[in-house]
Structure formats: C-alpha cells, structure tokens
Amino acid sequence: MPPTSPAIEDYLKTVYAHTEWQPDPITPKVLADALGIAPSSVTEMVKKMAAAGLVSHVPYGAVRLTEAGLARALAVVRRHRLIETWLVREMGYAWHEVHDEAEVLEHAISDRLLEAIDARLGRPARDPHGDAIPAADGTLASEPWVLLGDAPQGHSGAVIRISDRDPAVLRLLHDLGIGPGTVLTVTDVSTETITVQAQGAARRLPAEAALAIWVAA
Amino acid sequence: MPPTSPAIEDYLKTVYAHTEWQPDPITPKVLADALGIAPSSVTEMVKKMAAAGLVSHVPYGAVRLTEAGLARALAVVRRHRLIETWLVREMGYAWHEVHDEAEVLEHAISDRLLEAIDARLGRPARDPHGDAIPAADGTLASEPWVLLGDAPQGHSGAVIRISDRDPAVLRLLHDLGIGPGTVLTVTDVSTETITVQAQGAARRLPAEAALAIWVAA
DNA sequence: CCGTGCCTTTCGGCGTACCGAAATATTGCT
DNA sequence: AGCAATATTTCGGTACGCCGAAAGGCACGG
C-alpha cells in the first residue's frame, strides 16, 4: 500500500509529462516552475517521494520516475485524460476549458466511476488533443512519430498530437484548421519557421508551434 | 468572499442535514459523531466558522447556521444531491453506492460542471431518495409532509422521502417495495411498530423505519 | 583555474485540520 | 441542594504541504 496524495500525484504527473516531450530527465527547478511552487518545496517532496520509491534522485541531480512511480504517474495521466475527453464529448466543454476542471477531478474520482466513464466513452486511446490515454493496465497507444520541428523537408504525415502547453499555439492551430488527423507535408524548413502544406494550403508555422506537434513518422 | 474549505463544507452540510430531520439545533457532540471526528476538533472549527459568520455559537451551546451559513450549506447539499442523482441516472450506480463518491465529488466539481449536470438531468427537484435538491438560487421543493412515525391511524399519503442514514432501513424498505411515490395508509399504531397498507398488502414497520419516512400530509 | 551566477538544499516558520489528555461547565438524579 | 455523569473547552502536539532566507554546490567563461 504505497502512500499517495493529491500533491504527490501532481508531482508524478508533471515528471511524466516532461518525459513525453523532452528526452532528458526533469530538474527540480523545472519541476518547481511547472507546478508553480517554490524550489525548496520540491526538494522536500522529492526527498519524500524518493524514500517512498516513486522517484530516484541524488542530491543536486535530476528527478526520474522509478517503475512504481511510472505506474502511478500513468494512472494519474489516465484519469486526467479520460476526464478531459469526457468533459468534451459529453458535457459540452470546449477543449481549452477542460484543463482546470480535470486537474481537480483527477484526484477525486473513484476507480469505479473512472471505469464507468471509460466504458461510456468506448475506451478511447487518445484524448481530443491526441494525447495517448494509458489503459488500465498501463499500456499506451503508440505509433511512430516525429516532432514537426525535427521533420525533414518533404516529410508527410498526419498530426498525431498537439501539446496543450501553450494556449497561443493552440489557438493558432485551431484558426488554421490544423488538428489531430490533419495531414501535413513539410515544404520548407528554416531556422525560425517551417512551412507546411495542409489541406491544400501552404501554412507558415513558427518554431514554437512546430515543436508542439507530433506527426506520423 | 467568505472563506471556505472542504472541511467547512462538511460541517455546514452536517449541521443542515440535522435540521432537516430534527427540530432542535445540533450540539457539538452530535456534530462530532456525525463527522467521525473528535469533539475537541469540532470546538475549534466551530469557533472558526462562528468568526466567519457561518454559524452562531455560544460556549457550551448548540450550533446554528446563520443566513450566510445556510446559503452555503444549501449550495453544498445541492452539489451532493445532484451528483448522487447523476451517478444513479447516468453512471449505473445503485443508490446505496453513491454516497462516498458524492462525498468527494461535491468538493471537486466546478459550478460550470454542476450546471451542465443539472441541465442534463432536467433540473430535478428531488434525488432518487426523495431528498429535495436546492435550486441554484437556494429555493427548495417543499410539499406538506409528516413523519410516518407521527402520522395518526387512517392517515394516507405518498412517500416523499426516505432517510439514507440507516442502511438496514433502506434495505428493509427496498425489500418491501416501499420507495418514493409509494402510497401508504396507516392502519395501526403501537409503541414499537406501525402497520401500513402498501400496494394492497399490510406491512408492519419498526419505529426506526417509520421515523425515516416522510409521507405527504 | 578561479570566480560569478544559477541551482539546490537546509532551516525555521506558517496555516489547516486533526488528535488525546486534562480542566471546566452543565445537566439530571436523588 | 449536592453529586455524578456527560458535554464542552483548553492545551500541547502531529502531519502535510507550502514559504522565504540563507547556505552550499556546480559549471561555464574568462
């Protein structure tokens, strides 16, 4: 019976989310910024979580999920994304409205209710933004992908996923009609922007946007 | 902007619930027992709530909701009962399974989501047990009623509401096919039991059950 | 190779909400 | 009225999760 709490779940989720977009492990500072809390609080909590076997951490080093921590993190992410999907599909929320609500509900919903929601939604593999929803056993939908920002000229593939980190990027892509499923072809790459062919039109995207998009490899 | 917290909401809800079945105000001891916490904790919290203007309380006296406290309590009760109704009507819960889930969710759901649930359910006036659901403006469905235990011989009326305090009573009534809407006629009253005519059959109910049922006056 | 600046940790402290033990008030009974 | 049982409050203490200030470590540029 490993110990847990809403606060610990938030740490786990944040550490995990970092690994989804970033290859190197998260540092305490980045973790503190992402959670909106003071670095000293992170030191303390990370120590507690390391003692509980959820993360590994050496002083002045980065924070990594252990196997147990990863399992927990996936469970939290599953909750979060299922709730978001449910809010959008059944409760009339727009995508950008769901985050705060899910943030709270993910700590409040029982396994029983989560299962009922999952069943109602038909056990979706991805949420409305293309983020993979871990299954109850921790397995994840995964297709080969590349960051649009890393794709070579000529590369073509459907959008799999869009980061919801930056609302401005979200709005831009929404306005351009680019969402999960949209097929993009990279026509030109420069330092600042990347140009793609999308639904017959050429679109110039800033680097921030290109780094927020996964396309099929 | 009066201060609040899940703990305070639980106190408010419990004080309010007491007044629904009991004419005299709740004492700290009863409050402590209902909340499952130590009396000393109640003293402390009640003092805080009195300072916040949510309850009135003189040392060694009972606890009463102020107008502000009542408004808050009704809001919490509204959340709780709407969530219970939703769990039963849409999420496949049986009545006796909803309480714990609602207990947690009532502190987690936003006004926005509550409104969506209320709308989906068609703005119900009572939950599956007949408990009145306060409207968003604090108004309550109310029909004249008497406790079955107080009803005179010959009294007849539909069951409006059944207390969910005692699961044994709940089960008994369920087994007898008595629920909200069932028309009862009191045929005999004694100290220990009350006999009613329900759907053509005579039923003898223990006093605990008779005190858990509201019937139309 | 050393110092400056950023990162991380340590330390003392705070607010919330709870507890048990002990002191005090109230109430009911004779 | 007096006393015992019960209710309530006071008091010191705990766990959690956060903070800011200050101390300590680290890494890069000159």
Mean pLDDT of B136-158: 90
Among B140, B171, B202, give the residue marking a domain's end: B140
Co-location of A28 and A64 in the same domain:
yes
Helix (H) or strand (E) holding B147: strand B145-147
- Give how many domains chain B has, as a whole number: 2
Which residues in chain A are contacts of B109 at CB distance < 8 A? Answer: 101, 104-105
Which pLDDT score, from 0 to 100, does residue B34 have?
A: 96
What CATH number does residue B40 fall under?
1.10.10.10
Nearest Cα residue to B183 out of B198, B202, B161: B198
Which pLDDT score, from 0 to 100, does residue B28 have?
A: 97
Which pLDDT score, from 0 to 100, does residue A141 have?
A: 83
| Furthest CA-CA distance within chain A | 55
Footprint of strand C on the protein (CB under 7 A): A 27-30, 39-40, 42-44, 46-47, 57, 59-62; B 3, 5-8, 10, 35-38, 40-41, 44-45, 48, 59-60
* B93, B104, B116 member nearest A108 (Cβ): B104
Q: How far is A92 from chain B (nearest CA, A)?
A: 8
In angstroms, rounded to a whole number, what is the distance separating the alpha carbons of residues A92 and A193? Answer: 35
Tell if the CB–CB gap between A92 and B117 is shorter than 8 Å: no
Which residues in chain A are contacts of B105 at CB distance < 8 A? Answer: 105, 108-109
Co-location of A127 and A78 in the same domain:
yes
Co-location of A202 and A134 in the same domain:
no
Among A99, A122, A140, give the residue marking a domain's end: A140
Co-location of A186 and A120 in the same domain:
no
Helices B111-120, B67-90: inter-axial angle, 10-degree rounding: 50
Q: How far is B126 from chain A (nearest CA, A)?
A: 22
User: CB < 7 Å to strand D — which of 52-71 in chain A?
Assistant: 59-60
Q: Mind listing the pLDDT tens digit for each residue in B68-117? A: 999 999 999 999 999 999 999 999 998 878 989 999 999 999 999 999 99
Nearest Cα residue to A74 out of A63, A65, A83: A65
The residue segments making up the domain with residue B55 are 1-140
Co-location of B96 and B49 in the same domain:
yes
Q: How far is B50 from chain A (nearest CA, A)?
A: 28
Q: Mind listing the pLDDT tens digit for each residue in A166-194? A: 778 888 888 898 988 899 999 999 878 89
More confident residue, B33 or A170: B33
Contact B194, B160 (CB under 8 A): no
Tell if the CB–CB gap between A108 and B108 is shorter than 8 Å: yes
* A91, A105, A116 member nearest B108 (Cβ): A105
Tell if the CB–CB gap between B108 and A112 is shorter than 8 Å: no
Q: Which amino acid is at A125?
A: A
In angstroms, rounded to a whole number, what is the distance separating the alpha carbons of residues A178 and A174? Answer: 6
Which residues in chain A are contacts of B91 at CB distance < 8 A? Answer: 113, 116-117, 120
Tell if the CB–CB gap between A117 and B91 is shorter than 8 Å: yes
Q: Mind listing the pLDDT tens digit for each residue in A127-173? A: 988 899 999 999 998 889 999 989 999 999 999 998 877 778 888 88
Contact A85, A99 (CB under 8 A): no
Co-location of A52 and A153 in the same domain:
no
Co-location of A22 and A80 in the same domain:
yes
Co-location of B49 and B152 in the same domain:
no
* A97, A108, A113 member nearest B91 (Cβ): A113
Q: Which residues contact B169 (CB under 8 A, 6 or more apart)?
A: B162, B163, B208, B209, B212
What CATH number does residue A180 fall under?
2.30.30.90
Round the average pLDDT of chain B to a whole number and report it. 92
Co-location of B154 and B131 in the same domain:
no
SS (H, E, C) B166-183: CHHHHHHHHHHCCCCCCE
Co-location of B20 and B100 in the same domain:
yes
Which pLDDT score, from 0 to 100, does residue B44 have?
A: 97
**CB crowding A77-89: b at 16 or more within 10 Å, else e:** bbbbbbbbbbbbb
Nearest-Å Rg of the Cα atoms of chain B is: 18
pTM comes to 0.87
Task: Indicate the burial class of B85 (C-beta count within 10 angstroms; 0-12, 13-18, 19 or more).
Answer: buried
The first and second tokens of residue B126, run together, are 């009572």
Protein residue with the closest CA to the C1' atom of nucleotide C11: A40
pLDDT band at B191 (very low <50, low <70, confident <90, very high): confident
Q: Mind listing the pLDDT tens digit for each residue in A3-42? A: 799 999 999 999 999 998 888 999 999 999 999 999 999 9
Co-location of A64 and A150 in the same domain:
no
Co-location of B133 and B156 in the same domain:
no
Among B104, B123, B140, give the residue marking a domain's end: B140
